[in-house]
């Protein structure tokens, strides 16, 4: 994302008196952006903002919203957010990552590691003082993942993971180096909790048959045993999310390969653990499929999970993993609580349609549905009343821009640009934002950009679209449930346990198909016994006119039983199957199934395709007589015949006599 950026500028505007929004835009012209002043829309740009005239790489706000910084190819600039006053210019080239400490005292930068001419290590991770601009400490950090320091909320300590060792520093005394360390063999990731009593969660991935594990330690008590630990399998990597209070952690585990062959993307699992060690469990989910997203509520007492094959389910759990509410099955893969924990946004981005459903947490009712296709980034405003959706490059290189929506659904502002790479709200403490009342606030008047956007995208009135093609035999009929999503009344996804009998096998779309029944016909998707059966596309149906007889060829040789244990000698129509003709006849004698090679007189004459023995003989003799007539024609044309063909012609008289004896005049 940061390497291939072309020329673009940065435009900054206000979104509340204490909320700024910054984006990367095309340098063709400095475009105006949006803002809210005292809660009312105002879209004038910030006049004091310094627009760079060279390509930028990235930007970042501090957690408290006081500062922001952006990186240019040869310099990093730090600004005061109020008034856009320039504070520092750090002459560091090729910076691609920035990170502020919680109070904005320190700025960390990361550059891509390169080989130096003198052979020394490239110190590509650096920490600077925001107030003085001095470089305080530097390290060599090859990996971009997990590169930055993790600070406590008071900035009293900072940690980083280096080769299975958690190193602790005191930011006020960087020159003293490491003040404490914790070695956890095989550690692959670490997460420092927020709150006044910080804990450290260390994850160890599964390796060489040894199970994965997570261990929690008090930051100031590394020498003591872990306060909480749990081991489990099927965990090659993890994602750790602490709640706001820092008392509990959600751990998402994932494998690179799904050994059950149910998914291309590995297996996922979700665990909840308490930092105090008094509670831990796996979050039990009642639908198979991957975990798409999960998020803590800002109140730290509940969390939501989006999981399962599409359409996915979304369930709200409390801090003891007790289900609170099921939002049902919908095409969602994203969940986000607004900062006041009053609203929940459920959306389907990526390869989904971009529908955003907003729910009121108090009543658990749907407030509205927003149509935001091609969304790459979605974020609540600090006051929780607006939702920012952005289409970013290089994820998508068309329709780049942002849209601001009110929480009740109306579109408030549209800002399009040729290339947009990053967009976000300026962080603002929740305590300084107005709280929600009993009812949701009404939407203000939309900006004039909305009217212009809707006018430019207004399509001419045309006839109703014909919709998807339907064959003549299916026109005028209701859509079969096999073609519907589960949330629209379709057949739910059915998994398989790997056996071929007694269970159904899902197809690519998660539904079952029945062999011998055309798509759209009643019963399509179920076998004759009520269970699903997988069919191979293009293969002939197993049952012909009577699909119930299609599986008889798979019966066991002894007893001629069906797969479901039924007998052929009793309970059938009396017509023997091909398998009985090949093996002979079977019948029940004194409660036992007896098989013999001789045909049963009770079933003689043998039948095949509705013909008795006499008719079959007449048919065969007629075929031979026809072949002889063809040989005669060849002989008349002077063609040379083989000796076997001559002998075949000599037997014509006997064939005619035999046909006459059967009552056929030839």
Average pLDDT for residues 148-163, to the nearest whole number?
Answer: 92
Above 90 in pLDDT, residue 150?
yes
Q: Where are the beta strands (DSSP E) in 533-657?
A: 585-589, 592-596
Average pLDDT for residues 409-434, to the nearest whole number?
Answer: 87
C-alpha 494/C-alpha 595 separation (Å) is 40
3-state class of 393 per DSSP?
coil
Q: Where are the beta strands (DSSP E) in 437-501?
A: none
Between 538 and 284, the more confident residue is 284
Q: What is the residue extent of each domain of the chain? A: 52-147, 627-665
C-alpha 247/C-alpha 216 separation (Å) is 11
The reported pLDDT for the residue numbered 243 is 92
Between 121 and 30, the more confident residue is 121
3-state class of 630 per DSSP?
helix
The reported pLDDT for the residue numbered 646 is 86
Above 70 in pLDDT, residue 117?
yes
**Structure confidence at residue 39 as a pLDDT band (50, 70, 90):** low
C-alpha 394/C-alpha 2 separation (Å) is 10
3-state class of 483 per DSSP?
helix
Q: Which are the contacts of 640, defined by CB distance < 8 A and separation ≥ 6?
A: none
Q: What percent of the chain shows pLDDT beyond 90? A: 34
| Three state DSSP letters for 215-246 | EEEECCCCCCCCCEEEEECCCCEEEEEECCCC
The reported pLDDT for the residue numbered 48 is 74
Average pLDDT for residues 480-508, to the nearest whole number?
Answer: 55
User: What average pLDDT does the chain have?
Assistant: 77
Lowest mean pLDDT among 249-253, 326-330, 456-460, 623-627: 456-460
pLDDT in tens, 66-88: 999 999 988 999 999 888 888 99
**Class of the CATH domain delimited by 52-147:** mainly beta
The reported pLDDT for the residue numbered 264 is 73
Average pLDDT for residues 143-159, to the nearest whole number?
Answer: 91
Choose among 398, 381, 401: nearest CA to 390. 401
Choose among 414, 412, 418, 413: nearest CA to 399. 418
Radius of gyration of the chain (CA): 37
- φ/ψ (deg, to 5) at 306: -110, 120
C-alpha 235/C-alpha 268 separation (Å) is 8
Lowest mean pLDDT among 125-134, 381-390, 526-535, 618-627: 526-535
Residue 34, Cα to own-chain centre: how many angstroms?
A: 33
Q: CB count, 10 Å around CB of 250?
A: 20
Between 619 and 567, the more confident residue is 619
User: In this structure, what token pair is assigned to residue 83?
Assistant: 């008034």
List C-alpha distances in Å: 441 to 40, 406, 427. Answer: 12, 9, 21
Above 90 in pLDDT, residue 379?
yes
Above 70 in pLDDT, residue 27?
no
The reported pLDDT for the residue numbered 460 is 60
C-alpha 194/C-alpha 244 separation (Å) is 6
pLDDT in tens, 291-311: 999 999 999 999 999 999 889
Q: Which residues pair with 166 in a beta bridge?
A: 161, 182
Above 50 in pLDDT, residue 361?
yes
Average pLDDT for residues 614-633, to the nearest whole number?
Answer: 87
C-alpha 540/C-alpha 533 separation (Å) is 14
Q: Identify the residue whose tokens are 């979050």.
A: 283
Q: Which are the contacts of 325, defined by CB distance < 8 A and separation ≥ 6?
A: 315, 316, 364
The reported pLDDT for the residue numbered 638 is 81
C-alpha 92/C-alpha 89 separation (Å) is 9
The reported pLDDT for the residue numbered 28 is 30
**Structure confidence at residue 666 as a pLDDT band (50, 70, 90):** low
Contact 532, 517 (CB under 8 A): no
The reported pLDDT for the residue numbered 493 is 60
Above 80 in pLDDT, residue 20?
no
Lowest mean pLDDT among 138-152, 244-258, 591-605, 646-660: 591-605
Q: Which are the contacts of 566, defined by CB distance < 8 A and separation ≥ 6?
A: none
Lowest mean pLDDT among 207-211, 382-386, 524-528: 524-528
3-state class of 128 per DSSP?
strand
Between 501 and 353, the more confident residue is 353
Above 80 in pLDDT, residue 573?
no
Contact 348, 329 (CB under 8 A): no
pLDDT in tens, 505-561: 343 333 334 344 444 444 444 444 444 444 444 444 444 444 444 444 444 444 444
The reported pLDDT for the residue numbered 494 is 59
The reported pLDDT for the residue numbered 459 is 62
Full DSSP string of 50-91: ---SS---EEEE-TTSSEEEEE-SS-EEEEETTTTEEEEEE-
**Structure confidence at residue 348 as a pLDDT band (50, 70, 90):** very high
Q: HSE-up of 16 (CA within 13 Å, CB side)?
A: 18
The reported pLDDT for the residue numbered 113 is 86
Average pLDDT for residues 592-601, to the nearest whole number?
Answer: 46
C-alpha 273/C-alpha 228 separation (Å) is 8
Average pLDDT for residues 31-49, to the nearest whole number?
Answer: 55
Sheet holding 125-129, edge to edge: 95-100, 106-111, 125-129, 135-139
Contact 369, 355 (CB under 8 A): yes
Helix axis angle, 613-636 relative to 643-650, nearest 10°? 120
Contact 156, 145 (CB under 8 A): no
């Amino acid at each position: 994302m940061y390497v291939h950026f072309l020329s673009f500028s940065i435009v900054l505007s206000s979104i509340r008196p204490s909320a700024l929004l910054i984006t990367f835009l095309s340098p063709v012209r400095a475009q105006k952006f949006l803002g809210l002043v005292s809660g009312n829309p105002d879209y004038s740009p910030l006049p004091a903002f310094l627009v760079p005239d060279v390509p930028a790489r990235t930007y970042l706000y501090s957690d408290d919203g006081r500062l922001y910084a952006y990186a240019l190819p040869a310099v990093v600039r730090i600004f005061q957010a109020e008034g856009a006053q320039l504070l520092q210019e750090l002459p560091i080239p090729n910076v691609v990552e920035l990170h502020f400490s919680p109070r904005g005292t320190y700025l960390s930068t990361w550059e891509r590691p390169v080989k130096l001419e003198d052979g020394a290590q490239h110190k590509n991770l650096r920490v600077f003082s925001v107030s003085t601009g001095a470089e305080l400490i530097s390290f060599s950090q090859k990996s971009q993942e997990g590169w930055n320091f993790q600070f406590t909320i008071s900035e009293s300590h900072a940690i980083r993971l280096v080769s299975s060792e958690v190193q602790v520093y005191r930011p006020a005394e960087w020159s003293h180096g490491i003040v404490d360390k914790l070695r956890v063999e095989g550690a692959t990731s670490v997460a420092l909790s927020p709150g006044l009593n910080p804990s450290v969660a260390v994850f160890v991935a599964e390796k060489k048959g040894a199970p994965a594990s997570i261990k929690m330690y008090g930051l100031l008590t590394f020498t003591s045993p872990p306060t909480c630990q749990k081991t489990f399998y099927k965990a090659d990597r993890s994602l750790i999310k602490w709640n706001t209070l820092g008392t509990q952690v959600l751990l998402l585990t994932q494998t690179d390969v799904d050994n059950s062959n149910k998914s291309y993307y590995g297996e996922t699992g979700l665990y909840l653990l308490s930092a105090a060690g008094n509670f831990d469990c796996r979050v039990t989910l009642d639908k198979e499929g991957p975990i798409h997203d999960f998020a803590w509520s800002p109140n730290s007492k509940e969390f939501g999970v989006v999981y399962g094959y599409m359409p996915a389910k979304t369930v709200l759990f409390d801090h003891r993993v007790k289900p609170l509410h099921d939002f049902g099955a919908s095409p969602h893969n994203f969940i986000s609580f607004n900062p006041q924990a009053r609203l929940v946004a459920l959306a389907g981005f990526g390869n989904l349609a971009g529908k955003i459903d907003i729910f009121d947490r108090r009543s658990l009712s749907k407030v509205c549905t927003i149509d935001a296709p091609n969304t790459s980034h979605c974020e609540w405003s600090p006051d929780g009343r607006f939702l920012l959706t952005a289409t970013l490059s290089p994820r998508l290189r068309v329709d780049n821009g942002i849209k601001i929506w009110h929480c009740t659904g109306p579109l408030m502002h549209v800002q399009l640009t040729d290339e947009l790479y990053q967009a976000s709200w300026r962080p603002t403490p929740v305590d300084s934002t107005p709280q929600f009342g009993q009812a949701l606030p009404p939407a203000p008047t939309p900006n004039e950009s909305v009217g212009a956007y809707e006018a430019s995208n207004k399509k001419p009135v045309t006839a109703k679209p014909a919709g998807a093609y339907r064959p003549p035999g299916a026109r005028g009929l209701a859509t079969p449930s096999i073609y519907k999503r589960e949330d629209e009344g379709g057949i739910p996804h059915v998994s398989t346990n790997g056996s071929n009998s007694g269970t159904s096998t899902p197809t690519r779309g998660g539904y079952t198909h029945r062999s011998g029944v055309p798509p759209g016909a009643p019963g399509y998707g179920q076998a004759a016994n009520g269970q699903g059966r997988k069919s191979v596309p293009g293969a002939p149906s197993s049952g012909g006119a009577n699909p119930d007889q299609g599986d008889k060829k798979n019966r066991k040789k002894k007893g001629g039983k069906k797969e479901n244990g039924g007998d052929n000698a009793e309970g059938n129509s009396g017509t023997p199957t091909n398998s009985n003709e090949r093996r002979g006849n079977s019948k029940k004698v004194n409660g036992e199934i007896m098989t013999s090679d001789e045909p049963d007189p009770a079933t003689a004459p043998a039948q095949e395709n509705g013909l008795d023995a006499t008719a079959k003989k007449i048919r065969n003799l007629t075929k031979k007589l026809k072949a002889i007539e063809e040989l005669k024609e060849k002989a008349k044309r002077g063609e040379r015949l083989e000796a076997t063909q001559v002998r075949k012609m000599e037997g014509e008289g006997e064939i005619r006599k035999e046909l006459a004896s059967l009552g056929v005049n030839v």
